Structure formats: structure tokens, C-alpha cells
């Protein structure tokens, strides 16, 4: 086992996959000579060469399009968005090209690409460097969406995403990059975390909390605080947002009968809304209380720290919502 940061886990996963498969390459702004804005790809160009680690111009459309075209000929591209916010410039390539390609080719041409980059707030990144909009791609057929919370999952999910034959959008919460450390397996184990499987991070009896990304850590802190009050939270880390693991959620809900969904994106139209709708539609009888959501306000993320804290969900918000559920 190796003790690494969240960032290093992602870095090692990509490095090992490029060593394993010569068809894997990466492209992005400043990922070569500079090693990426956060240092995730430092040393890659020197080791793998400029033909596999490509410094691109400032065009997210071109970066993703190169990966799509290469994937159609048998390559596996990793497209870095310097900040995931700017994937909006390449939205057409993900949604209308990569996502539809296998269907349009009659199942003959898969597009194995990973579009990855730092996401999320809590770092004072302001408007264009703090967004969480996984719901855009959660809504898109043909595209998978991943957002890990711990180094071992980031490592195993990145490997699985690179090997997957579908387009994957991989969210890396920058708040976790160097704050969170954990053990990952030795390369000889060929460790993979299967896409579409959630993980119960904390077992409890009173309330099921479903979350992902940085919010997993917030939920676990809230669970520790509430334990002192006699309220037991079961915390489910989705890990893969799409495909959605409803089986794990329902199994937990059969025990607790109360559900709290926590996500960092704006509340309206988020992943939590779909989870709530599915349960209301198919498993309403499991509920002993209304489903609650804790999410960001329907606003942009401000630069000023007090305003950022006001807009984004907090541990206190989770504790408050859980107390209301427990008392229902």
C-alpha cells in the first residue's frame, strides 16, 4: 500500500495506465512542460514524450475533439480541462459527438475518452473556477459521470474510466487535492473500482445520507457531531454519479426509512432531485418522512469568503436538516 494525497492518486492512476497501454494519451492546456495548473501531470511529457502528452491551445472544443477522433481510431484519450468549468466550451463535443457516437455507428465505434479536471468550491475560486454542474452530463445518454471523495476511489475509478469504452466525465474536487490522504494499492494488484457502484462510508440506523465528492467528508463530519446527540447517520458515497447505484440506496433506506441527499451543485434540477423522484415513484412505501435535500443555493459561487460560505452547503446545513428528519 502507498500513502498518497487525492491528487497523487489520480496522477499515479494515469501514469500506470499510460505505462500499461500505449494507446492511452493525454491532451490539455499546459499539461506538458508546465505539468498542469495543479501539477497533476508533472513529469509526464519527459517520461512519455510529446506525442502522448500534448500541450494544446486554449480551446476545450479542440482538446475534446482530438480525443474523440483518436478514440474512433483505437486510441484512449484523456482530456484535461484546466478547470472543469470550461468544459462548457467543449459541451457539444461531449454531448452531441462523443455521447452519441456508439449509437450513430450502430454499435461499431466506441469512444473511450476521459474528460477530467478540477471542480468545486470552498477555495475562493469565484465564478468560473468553482462550479459543480454534473447534472448537465447526468442528463446525457451515452456519458458516464464520476466524482470520487477518497484517494483509493480516485485511483481505482480513474483506471476504470480510462479502460471503459464509453465517454466519462471525471470530476476531481480541488478542495480535496492536497487535503485528503489515504492508502492505495501497489501497482501489481491492478486495483480497479467498478463504475456504477456506491460505497457505504459509515453505517447507521436513523437516516440515510446520499452524497458524493467533497460533500462525503462534510456528511461524515456531520455524522460524528450528531452521534453525540443520539442520531445515527448512514453515509453513502455514490462515487459514480452515473450510472446511479439505486440498489445500495434502497437497501439502506429499508433500514432507516429517512433520506437526506447532499450535493454541492445548485439545488434545482440536481442529481438529488432525480434520486428523490425515483424513490417517490418506485419506493415511496419505504419512507417515514419527506425526503430532504441539502445543496447550494441557486446562485453563482461568489469570490468573497463569507458569500461563498452562504451560497455553498455546509456541515451545519447537513446537521440542521438531519435534526429535522430525526424529529419528524
Q: Cα torsion at 277, 278, 279, 281 (round to 10°)?
A: 80
Q: Is 129 a catalytic residue?
A: yes
Handedness of CA 202, 2, 178, 148 (dihedral sign): negative
CB 85 within 8 A of CB 76: no
The helix (run of H) or strand (run of E) holding residue 272 is helix 271-282
Where residue 250 falls (left for φ over 0; alpha for ψ -120 to 50; beta otherwise) is alpha
DSSP string for 179-243: T-EEEE--GGG-----TT--EEEE--SSEEEEE-TTHHHHHHHHHHHHHTTT--EEEEE-SEEES
- Helix (H), strand (E) counts: the chain: 12, 14
SS3 category, 43: coil
What residues have CB less than 8 Å from 280, skipping those under 6 apart?
A: 291
Query: How far apart are the C-alpha atoms of 157 and 292, rounded to whole Å?
Result: 28
Per annotation, catalytic residue among 47, 129, 217, 282: 129
CB 209 within 8 A of CB 223: yes
- C-alpha distances (whole Å) from 193 to each of 30, 76, 152, 296, 316 are 29, 19, 9, 28, 31
Closest CA to 150 of 169, 133, 172, 132: 172
Annotated catalytic residues are 129
Amino acid at each position: 500500500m502507498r500513502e498518497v494525497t487525492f491528487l497523487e492518486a489520480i496522477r499515479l492512476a494515469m501514469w500506470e495506465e499510460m505505462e500499461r497501454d500505449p494507446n492511452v494519451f493525454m491532451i490539455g492546456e499546459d499539461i506538458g512542460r508546465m505539468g498542469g495548473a495543479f501539477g497533476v501531470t508533472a513529469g509526464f511529457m519527459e517520461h512519455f514524450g510529446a506525442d502522448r502528452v500534448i500541450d494544446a491551445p486554449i480551446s476545450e472544443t479542440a482538446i475534446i475533439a482530438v480525443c474523440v477522433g483518436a478514440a474512433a481510431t483505437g486510441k484512449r484519450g484523456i482530456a484535461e480541462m484546466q478547470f472543469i468549468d470550461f468544459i462548457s466550451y467543449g459541451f457539444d463535443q461531449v454531448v452531441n459527438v462523443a455521447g452519441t457516437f456508439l449509437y450513430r455507428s450502430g454499435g461499431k465505434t466506441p469512444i473511450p475518452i476521459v474528460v477530467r479536471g478540477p471542480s468545486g468550491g470552498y477555495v475562493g475560486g469565484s465564478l468560473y473556477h468553482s462550479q459543480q454542474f454534473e447534472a448537465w452530463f447526468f442528463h446525457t445518454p451515452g456519458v458516464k459521470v464520476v466524482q470520487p471523495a477518497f484517494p483509493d476511489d480516485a485511483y481505482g475509478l480513474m483506471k476504470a474510466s480510462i479502460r471503459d469504452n464509453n465517454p466519462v466525465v471525471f470530476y476531481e474536487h480541488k478542495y480535496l487535492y492536497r487535503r485528503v490522504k489515504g492508502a492505495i494499492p501497489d501497482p501489481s494488484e491492478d486495483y480497479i473500482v467498478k463504475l456504477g457502484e456506491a460505497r457505504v462510508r459509515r453505517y447507521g440506523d436513523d437516516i440515510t445520507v446520499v452524497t458524493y465528492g467533497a460533500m462525503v467528508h462534510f456528511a461524515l463530519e456531520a455524522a460524528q457531531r450528531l452521534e453525540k446527540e443520539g442520531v445515527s447517520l448512514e453515509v453513502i458515497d455514490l462515487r459514480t454519479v452515473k450510472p446511479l447505484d439505486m440498489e445500495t440506496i434502497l437497501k439502506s433506506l429499508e433500514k432507516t426509512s429517512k433520506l437526506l441527499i447532499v450535493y454541492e451543485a445548485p439545488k434545482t434540477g440536481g442529481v438529488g432531485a432525480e434520486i428523490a423522484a425515483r424513490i417517490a415513484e418506485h419506493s415511496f412505501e419505504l419512507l417515514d418522512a419527506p425526503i430532504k435535500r441539502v445543496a447550494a443555493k441557486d446562485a453563482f459561487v461568489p469570490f468573497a469568503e463569507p458569500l461563498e460560505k452562504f451560497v455553498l452547503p455546509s456541515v451545519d446545513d447537513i446537521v440542521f436538516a438531519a435534526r429535522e428528519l430525526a424529529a419528524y
